[in-house]
Structure 1
């Protein structure tokens, strides 16, 4: 059945799709958004359970680029933005001898911190003497060469676990350590680069009812353009136009395509067989997300901070724990604390195959010991992402070249997904504005 012609068709109604539509709509609304599920938001899912605000996907967004600031301000959300308790937000923890240990945030704290040995602290002074890399390497190789094994194992590995849930012995330094890689390449040394450039740490934020408020707000003025429960099953190219076939047996034509779906989805519907095969090589880490609402009076070891990240040597079943209500007290009812526990990733992907109740028992036991909690669990929730976070591994250089080649050959086809040019929500919003401006100029 023949559909209609549109200037632009957006595939996927997550944050990338909806923000692309928002920026496009500033000039025209000659577009459609196809979403395969009955829900909007993609990986952004906020759920209210017993007055706890639980984030199934991203827990915060960084206010680190103009596109994010615009979309918040122009949609009347500026007065709803919740910033974390600044003092507590600075407290990020790792485990040292199974004890919560704060990552130092000042030179004085660093000197007396138990995270690194004296030998490792002294070796950091010689980072500027390490030679510049002439080709891309793994994160593990990059950090160990410049800062030493201990710095990698105790600081970098836990930190990147919280972002990618990946394996640093496979991850691409150029893609996963963009800032450090850039400083080394431009200044010959990360340390020298940090001295010469001034950096302002961006704020993270949320909303009173979770990040889902952003999704709801963006969708209000896009109701006519959104098609829920509509999967794209084939994309083909005919001259300068693209044909989009959907699961209701309709075929649409358009000048521009913005694909915001995961690599494994795009690979099944794309007309370019070569790129489809490459996209299948992008690995996604599985993630199990647990939420626990606990009574404050039953927690003996109070925690004040953003969260805890673990490393392989800690031998924990979880990757990290977010102390949600510590930095955003609005996320839990009075007298309670909210914890989000992340499990799986490249390190423990087999745990994501366990029966959820059994896995919850294991995780809860480790959490109880860590914070010295006794008593019943007031609220619990679980969600399993079978394919959660795309991995920017060393072979990604090769895949990225194929993506660039495809986009060069196929004018007006755009990829705005977290497997290409940035994994964070703020990255995706920034890419949305860039792409939309380009389309609106044509």
Structure 2
């Protein structure tokens, strides 16, 4: 939270609602900082980890295979990633940490052109030349050349849609529709014509506010290469609070920046599982799965009760941490604070459909297309409502151990030919006239087969032979609409005013960024405030 939080009293009793990585790591940090505090971690599902799910199953040959049905990689350049990897070191799990190097084929990325052919995102003069010959690049050169000469808005600081911001800065709609909309599909599953520029393009927004131009801002920012590396303010707080060795933490932070992405052996769920195991061994933490919160009620001036749908009541709570999406949190305040509940309910969320494809014994991805995957811009004719496709088998084959003392083992799966892909569909495309329309499993898988055949040339017989899995992640990504920052500020002000900071919020809807590392950094900041 941006607002201040009061320190917890001695032997406080708190509840953390939601056991995704936000709730897990907030609980983990707080129990290390304040072992006297009793923590009740409440989860409505029968598992912890939230949207991170590494599903272990068997293929048609009864051989084990892991399919990621949520996030699968982490950004190396991130405070939150440093916190994740350092936590895994503390839990003696550093051997699972893997990286993709910059020169790896898995670091290549593609966009789907308007001709349904893949075009590589430029990484070299040759790929840049090829990209500029593609219709996707229309308006790119003139837009970039003219950007420094375009005026900033008269009303500084007023939010607008991403598409409006890009049109103003680059003088056309092509850069947004043809290129950057694909990135927003991959991160948010959302429509640039509806999203907040101030919230989702913070760095570019701030450059315009400060310098009047994005490119002028980039040119005037000091490179900082002449300074010796140092820890970020958040990592410095972490080092001090957890008595970390400064050199070790700085070396880790510096080393991770070399890698465009990281992964974990056994899948990304290895991380929340390790944290869950640590919390299981903490005497002051109780994890309650299959329990759903129906309401939050004030008991006294300094304590609260939580009512569960099963009829149980949790009493005398000194602090409550809520990590779900705003619409879910709103139901908990319906009886106690109707105005707050209505304000929370304003924020909607997108559903993402994930379709996994696994084919043992064959690698059917053409060599020229092997990379991280491809994203679909909004300019495309897109009957499948496809957001993008991730080439999991290429990524897995490219992984190398991060730590030098980790033995290099041969994975029997990755040592043999195979194909593993994940298609992402839906998002804003599912919202028709304000109502969501979810296609069936059969229709969706047929659509993905058509897309993979058209875009990658994978023959239908190979597609029909593979293992298919279908997952709907309902309401998994908040819709960051125009004015979102003001909305968040109003929510936090109301929580501070009505509950004196004894209720805090976390998770993707309230963190500074949309990724797993962002919600973990947010959880650390608030745990430090409360401790």
State how far apart, in whole Å, the 2-side matches of 1:205 and 1:228 are: 29
Alignment partner of 1:428 is 2:519: yes
* Aligned position for 1:35: 43
Q: CA deviation at 1:193?
A: 2.1
Q: 1:44-73, CA deviations, whole angstroms, 9 ceiling, x for partnerless residues?
A: 111123333222121222233334323422
State how far apart, in whole Å, the 1-side matches of 2:138 and 2:431 are: 35
Q: 1:117-149, CA deviations, whole angstroms, 9 ceiling, x for partnerless residues?
A: 575313311211122242111100011111232
Secondary structure at 2:488 match in 1: helix
Aligned residues: 436
Correspondence list, 1:108-147, <5 A: 109-113=127-131, 114-115=133-134, 116-117=136-137, 120-133=140-153, 134=156, 135-147=158-170
* Aligned position for 1:93: 110
Alignment partner of 1:369 is 2:386: no
Secondary structure at 2:495 match in 1: helix
State how far apart, in whole Å, the 2-side matches of 1:121 and 1:360 are: 38
The answer as to whether partners of 1:34 and 1:226 remain within 8 angstroms in 2 is yes
The answer as to whether partners of 2:138 and 2:175 remain within 8 angstroms in 1 is no
Q: CA deviation at 1:20?
A: 0.3
TM-score normalized with structure 2 length: 0.77
The one of 209, 229, 233 aligned to 2:294: 233
Which stretch shows the higher mean deviation, 327-336 or 385-394? 327-336
The answer as to whether partners of 1:352 and 1:384 remain within 8 angstroms in 2 is no
Which stretch shows the higher mean deviation, 118-127 or 208-217? 118-127
Q: CA deviation at 1:292?
A: 0.3
State how far apart, in whole Å, the 2-side matches of 1:109 and 1:245 are: 58
State how far apart, in whole Å, the 1-side matches of 2:451 and 2:346 are: 34
The answer as to whether partners of 1:14 and 1:43 remain within 8 angstroms in 2 is yes
Which stretch shows the higher mean deviation, 64-73 or 381-390? 64-73
* Aligned position for 2:428: 346
* Aligned position for 1:13: 19
Q: CA deviation at 1:108?
A: 6.2
Q: CA deviation at 1:162?
A: 0.5
Task: Name stretches of at least 5 consecutive residues in structure 2 with no aligned partner.
Answer: 1-10, 59-63, 225-256, 400-410
Q: 1:155-179, CA deviations, whole angstroms, 9 ceiling, x for partnerless residues?
A: 1111111011111111000101111
Task: Name stretches of at least 5 consecutive residues in structure 1 with no aligned partner.
Answer: none
Alignment partner of 1:185 is 2:171: no
Q: 1:298 to 1:423 in 2, by over 3 A?
A: closer
* Aligned position for 1:328: 396
State how far apart, in whole Å, the 2-side matches of 1:212 and 1:111 are: 40
State how far apart, in whole Å, the 1-side matches of 2:18 and 2:528 are: 19
* Aligned position for 1:392: 480
Q: CA deviation at 1:358?
A: 1.8
The answer as to whether partners of 1:343 and 1:352 remain within 8 angstroms in 2 is no
Q: CA deviation at 1:225?
A: 1.6
Secondary structure at 1:353 match in 2: coil
